[in-house]
Structure 1
Amino acid sequence: MVELTWVPKLTWLAFEMLGSPEEPPLVLGYVPLLGVLRLSTIARKMVKLSSFLHETSVRDLTLGFKCEKIWVQPESLTRRQAHVFQQLRILNLVKIPEGYDLTWTMFFLEAAPSLEELYMMAWEHRCEMEMNQEFSENKGVEWESPTSNFKHHRLDKFILVGFQANDYMVSHVRHVLKAAVNLQDVYLYDRLVCAKCPYKIQNARISETIVRRMCPGVNLPIKFPYTNEDQHAVQKRMPRGIGSLAKIHFLTSNEIRAEHLPRIIGGC
């Protein structure tokens, strides 16, 4: 464990922990100027961010889950706790395990009224995982908003990497579209190529048989809507009855926009 008891001038911190400790590997004490935090770990116990970040002024937050169990505990914040997220402008949730409901991430929208950019990466790959069967089961977390018809007025961009045309992902995009009333753009990328496997997949549209042979750790099947027809079908499932004016962009991993690249690649 690393405990920062008194570091009053610290403004930027990147911390990555290998393995899965019983307790949170990082403890933040008095770090009032901490504005940028990159934290990637596998934690067995749930962490309440309102307690973890209470002595900070984080504006730019990256949380990495390494394809394992979600270790953030969604909270119904009191007015006293809410100050922790008042300055948060950019949030990057990296390597969220695939196949699990994403509703819990709406906690951040409700907690951070000034949030402007939301990045999420859903990705599950054996190269990243501990492969501990007991720990790897039930990776998701449940959360139900205490606020009905919640609206967020500052979110401008939503970037989701690893989008698949599955019900739970389409449903989550709908939730964001409905809540973020001033959202301008939604960028939906397909899965990234695994950089740790001995071979790289240069064309995501090759057959699943070839994908398994070249990159055996990848989680299949791939259900990204590549064709205009498939994209139109997905779009019809999203804004129905919402009235959102946000523009939805479908992009492959070879088409990552320059302004997104540092967040997507840097978060890995």
Structure 2
Amino acid sequence: MAATSSEAVQQDDRLGKLPDDILVSILERLDDLRFAVRSSILSKRWRHLPGMISDIDLDVWSFVKHDHDEDRRNTGLPQAVESVLAHQSRHSIDRLAVHFFLTDDSARILRAVDDAVSSGRRQVTSVALSILGEKPDVLCDAGDMLRHAARLLPSLAAYPSAFAGLADLHLESVRLGESDVPRLLGACGKLERLALQNCDSGLRTVLRLEHPRLRELDAVFCGCEAVELRSLPRLERVTCTQWMPSKNLPPLLFGQVPGLEAVTFTNAAMGGDRALGFGELVGDAAATLRELVLNFLNGRVWIQPQEPVPLMQNLMHASFHNIREQCDLTWTMLILKSAPHLKTLGVTVSNHSCGDTDPEDAEIIRRLFSQEDIIQWQPSYFKHCDLSMLVIHGFQVQEKFMKYIKRLMKVAINLEEMCLLRDECKNWIVVKPAHKL
């Protein structure tokens, strides 16, 4: 034991003899900055090094010693944030990211971030905060969400520099009043990326967003009836995942979003949920979109193929994921009518024939899909001149796939390449059509 201890000391001495820039490079490559915090406390040689780290990422999950997601505490994180940010240094912080739970001691973390930004001890270029609920989102009720809001909102005035420097905000399980939303976004003047998970302004309400600089938005499992992108002039990308079904509104309402280029919709629809047409889904964003992704999580297709379709003049790439094998694929060609300049079309079919699905789950899934769920759409005669690539994941040598490919080749008269992937063997079949069928 003594020999082992002596070897460890000698190894530490050798490491400590390295130049500062090499030691800092080692620390910045660590997934867990707790080592840097401990080293700065225990070793004089390492004490000043946290003040030289330019990319600081402190994640509460690195400090949690158990695997129970229900027990969420900021154990050790407030002290670590204070320790790392207390250093005065000429070296700037290019990115400061902190992930923490919105518990009673979260104010201590925000106070340390606010002080680091406003004190001038080090220049802080960019701040990212991931503010998580004290319970997993699926366990949070209305009372939990309101309690989170009561902890968060006073911090906007108490620690203004922490929010004023924010470029990236992930917010989980917070219920914001109608006036709280502009108050929060107004406090984050430099915000470029926003993720809202299980956040809303009340059930069956419309969550309205306005911000002059926001470029990316993720709306995940939000309980509101719709998210309105009222005025987001720099918005480029939107991801909308798992929304509440509405009788009247689509999940996203597009207002002033002149720069929007990419939208991803991901949802697991249930029986009785209203299907959406392409025009209703993309709304006024149809004219600017270049990329559209639709992901049917449980295989139930929640798109209603219907004409007329909206003109998506700039759409270059479209993909449809997790279409169940029972569904006909012809309806996916409707996107060709909508997007005359589409270059690539991707289709992923989920067959679940690999045997990894529980038999009881498989039976439930089978019952979920009746004949009414099998979408039938027969395209009228038309030609598409710009489609150059078709990609199919989950391809099987079956009549349904072969008919789909033949039909698409007749429409896409300049198709150059088809990439067919079988999920099990992961082997690509690349086909370059030499003639039209």
1:243 maps to 435
Structure 2 counterpart of 1:53, which letter? V
Shift of 1:137: 2.6
Within the alignment, does 1:52 sit opposite 2:281 as a pair? Answer: yes
Unmatched 5+ stretches in structure 1: 193-202, 205-223, 246-268
Residues 68/129 of structure 1: CA separation in 2 closer, same or farther (3 Å cut): farther
Q: Percent identity?
A: 24
* Structure-to-structure mapping, 1:127-142, within 5 angstroms: 131=364, 135-138=368-371, 139-142=373-376
Distance 1:91 1:243, change over 3 A: same
> Counterpart in 1 of 2:294?
63
- State the one-letter code of the partner of 2:237: W
Shift of 1:225: 11
| Cα offset, 1:51, TM superposition | 2.2
What does 1:212-251 correspond to in 2, within 5 Å?
A: 243-244=435-436
SS at match of 1:53: helix
The Cα shift of 1:152 comes to 0.6
Max Rg structure: 2
Q: Write the distance in 2 (CA, Å) between the matches of 1:142 and 1:14.
A: 28
Q: Give 1:87-126 correspondences, 5 Å limit.
A: 87-125=314-352, 126=357
How far did residue 4 of structure 1 move? 1.9
Summarize the Cα distance change of 1:131–1:32 in structure 2 as closer, same or farther, 3 Å threshold. farther
Looking at structure 1, the residues matched to 363 and 251 of structure 2 have their Cα atoms a distance apart, in angstroms, of 20
- Deviation digits for residues 172-215 of structure 1, max 9, x if unmatched? 011111111111001111025xxxxxxxxxx57xxxxxxxxxxx
Q: CA RMSD in A?
A: 3.2
Match of 1:35 among 261, 276, 295: 261
Structure 2 counterpart of 1:36, one-letter code: A
How far apart are the structure 2 equivalents of 1:143 and 1:135?
21
Tell me which moved more, 47-56 or 114-123: 47-56
| 8 Å CA contact retained: 2:351, 2:394 | no
**Shift in alpha-carbon separation, 1:10–1:53, aligned structure 2, 3 A:** same
Alpha-carbon distance in structure 2 between the residues aligned to 1:133 and 1:190: 22
Post-superposition CA distance 1:55-96 (Å, at most 9, x none): 21211011001242211111211xxx533x221110011111
The residue identity in structure 2 corresponding to 1:141 is I
Q: CA deviation at 1:22?
A: 5.5
Superposed counterparts of 1:2-13, under 5 Å:
2-6=226-230, 7-13=232-238
The amino acid that maps onto 1:156 is S
* Runs of 4+ with deviation above 4 angstroms: 22-25, 126-130
Per-residue Cα deviation, 1:130-176 (whole angstroms, up to 9, x for no partner): 9466543333211122x32x211000100001110111111001111
Higher helix residue share = 2
**Distance apart, 1:27 and its partner CA:** 2.1
CA deviations 1:25-55 (Å, max 9, x no partner) are 7222313322111111023211012122122
Distance 2:363 2:297 in 1: 9
Aligned pairs, number: 198
Q: TM-score, normalised by structure 2?
A: 0.41
Answer yes or no: is the 8 Å Cα contact 2:278–2:310 preserved in 1. Answer: no
Structure 1 residues 225 and 137, CA gap change in structure 2 (3 angstroms): farther
What is the TM-score with the length of structure 1 in the denominator?
Answer: 0.64
1:129, 1:29 → 2: CA distance?
38
SS of 2:310's partner is helix
